[in-house]
Amino acid sequence: MVDINAEGNDMSSLFRPPAISSAIGVLDRSLFSKTINLAAAAVADKKKISAWRQTLQRQGTLLTAERISSIVTHPDKTLAAQGTKCLLLDPKVKAEVPETWTSTIQDGVASKEIGIVPYTLSLDYDYWTHEDVMRSLLPPDLRDSHDGIPGGFNQAGHVAHMNLRDAFLPYKKLIAEVILDKNQAIKTVINKVANVGTESEFRTFAYEVLAGPDDLNVEVRENNCSFRFDYSKVYWNSKLEGEHRRLVDIFKPGEVVCDVMAGIGPFAIPAGKKGVFVWANDYNPESYRYMEENIKRNKVDQYVRPFNQDGRTFIREAADMVYTASVNGEYAVSGPSRRVKRSQHPNSNTADNSMPIPEPKREPVPPTISHFVMNLPATAITFLSHFRGVYAAREELFVPHTSTKLPLVHVHCFAAKADDDTPLIDICERISAEIGVEMKLGEAENAKEVSVLEVRNVAPNKLMFCASFRLPPEVAFAARV
């Protein structure tokens, strides 16, 4: 245990964890115990605690430290038993040195409203944050040469998934232990040992368990939906929750969305919940299986239809299937919400029998797809050539024959970082090469223009983007090969 006298120390050093020389991979939590000698104002009248706290805070003499309450029980056991409380004071105030007391404190002592007493503040391992602990355990030269400490991870349910740099691998068990300690929701920590897609075309990855049980069956809640899956068998990235929400917010109830690389359904299932028809496909049989289960779990099977095909084939087949479903008069039935049903139940206290329960409403499947989503950033752009002829001989379904526009395509992709528009222009050129029509950077609603949105950082020099564009007529209506 480290004993610190507050005299001569500023706040930053007082509340810094002890410097620890630890053997590689060894976490001795007892070494993080630390005591700090402070002064405290014992308030005689319990009713005046709040007033004195505000006064001392305004004067800057109240202790203000993260995760430490300024109100504590009296260090004297007898007084503590009587309920006497103390206010911890800033380290510059010394109990044994009245010269450090402000005039307000001196007046409070003189009037016997408060008394200044020594107080020993004890901190242990539980107090320090993950970053505090790692800064104490990892060698400074290692931190300095590798941009600080390895604290980031991708979380899927109870699993923390790390991608440690080689330099930190000797400390991997130590790092994992601290993550478990400092994140109550985490039960298992794994480290990726190969790049996504290196060993599997399904974007799964080889991993090693660093801490906790080898249990990757997880449950995740995202965008008001529940997903269960084996994290080792499918692709999931919680850092994409915002992107999932952004696109789902664009979709309108009653539209049809074709999710070409749907995974386990992070776009499809929330869209289905808002009444969007989704033809959702994934090439990975395990993703397809879990998507089926999650569609049922979230009760969106009227709106979301799962498929297990190669995306290239699925693009055209989905357009044909949607058209056939519409011609055949297929529909979803939407009834009143559970809240409305409960309010109209005869046994309900709020029942208004004069108000009839709304009849279920039929929502027909429209004949065309409004959006294609292609979330396979490594290769999705190469699938775009298969849009050629997707609506061959069906021009009458779209403008100018109807008010329906050709589908918006949202294709995710990677590109290098740059300080200008070079990556965005490069993405447009790659799209142009695949669909055979020159596309320029601009607004997706304008003919032959692409809007490109940055989604997230992937690596120091690599970004993920989403490129959106309206499918050009010369592509959609071209003759099928």
In the annotated binding site for S-adenosyl-L-methionine, the residues are 244, 310-311, 375
Burial class of residue 99, CB neighbours in 10 A (0-12, 13-18, 19+): exposed
Burial class of residue 164, CB neighbours in 10 A (0-12, 13-18, 19+): middle
Q: 210 is written with which tokens?
A: 């660093």
Q: Kind and range of the H or E element at 324? A: helix 311-327
- The C-alpha atoms of residue 414 and residue 424 are separated, in whole angstroms, by 10
Q: 339 is written with which tokens?
A: 């809240």
Residues 6 or more apart in contact with residue 68 via CB below 8 angstroms: 88, 121
Would you tell me how many other CB atoms lie within 10 Å of the CB of residue 286?
18
Q: 80 is written with which tokens?
A: 């503590």
- The C-alpha atoms of residue 95 and residue 84 are separated, in whole angstroms, by 18
| 66 neighbors 120 (Cβ within 8 angstroms) | no
Coil, helix or strand at residue 353? coil
- The C-alpha atoms of residue 100 and residue 114 are separated, in whole angstroms, by 16
Residues 6 or more apart in contact with residue 280 via CB below 8 angstroms: 259, 262, 265, 267, 268, 291, 304, 305, 306, 307
Helices (H), ranges, 127-238:
130-137, 140-145, 172-182
Q: Cis omega before residue 460 (within 30°)?
A: no
Binding residues: 244, 310-311, 375
- The C-alpha atoms of residue 118 and residue 235 are separated, in whole angstroms, by 56
